[in-house]
Chains A and B, each alone.
Chain A
Amino acid sequence: EIVMTQSPATLSVSPGERATLSCRASQSVSSNLAWYQQKPGQAPRLLIYGASTRATGIPARFSGSGSGTEFTLTISSLQSEDFAVYYCQQYNNWPRDTFGGGTKVEIK
């Protein structure tokens, strides 16, 4: 079973600043990693797949990097609409549990 660990659990950032979120896999998932954004009361939204490819319509301020066991989601300049919870998901090894526990990005 692959365990996905996200850190930090909560990230306090001021609007306009950079946010860096981490996701670590307990064993290699290659580049088979996705990131999702979830705002309160809404369904998750796909941001990144293949560790670094932005999904359709996702602004360029969102970028993903990493491979193997270490991954990063960077939001270059936080906008008010970016305050949300972010989840990583590995899809290298199904059908085991695939999601990380989430990182909440809150206003500082």
Chain B
Amino acid sequence: EVQLVQSGAEVKKPGESLKISCKGSGYSFTSYWIGWVRQMPGKGLEWMGIIYPGDSDTRYSPSFQGQVTISADKSISTAYLQWSSLKASDTAMYYCARILSGWYFDYWGQGTLVTVSS
């Protein structure tokens, strides 16, 4: 069974750093792209970026380029999304999702809620 399990909810202060994770199982982790999607409170879905764990090829949405860093450790089948300096506007639910060759998302993680507040 394909599963993507994300790390737990985080509460941070502005200016702090953060790295959240997404662990894949039940499939060949290095053979599929993984994407990160943001959902701000009460809002829609925004694609942030994608990574191919097989070779760490990474691409970002222009809206998120320079704002976050996406990485992966294929040895433990885990993808990451990190911030070096959080802002209150980063408060959102973040989902990871597997991407099929057609570039749509077939399996999703349960989401990680990030709250940034002073």
- Residues on A lying within 8 angstroms of B by beta carbon are 32, 34, 36, 38, 43-46, 49-50, 55, 87, 89, 91, 94-102
- Measured in the bound complex, the distance between the Cα atoms of B35 and A98 in whole Å is 12
Centre residue among A32, A49, A55 by max chain B CB count within 10 A: A49
Listed in ascending order, the chain B residues whose CB lies under 8 Å from chain A are: 37, 44-47, 49-50, 59-63, 95, 97, 100, 102-111
Is there contact, CB below 8 Å, between B106 and A55?
yes
Whether the Cβ atoms of B108 and A95 lie closer than 8 Å is no
Given that A87-B45, A97-B47 are contacting pairs, would A44 and B104 also be in contact in the complex, using a CB cutoff of 8 Å? no
User: How far apart are the CA atoms of A45 and B105 in the complex, in Å?
Assistant: 9
Q: Which residues of the other chain, B, contact A94 by a CB distance below 8 angstroms?
A: 59, 103
Instruction: Report A90 CB to chain B, min CB distance, Å.
Output: 9
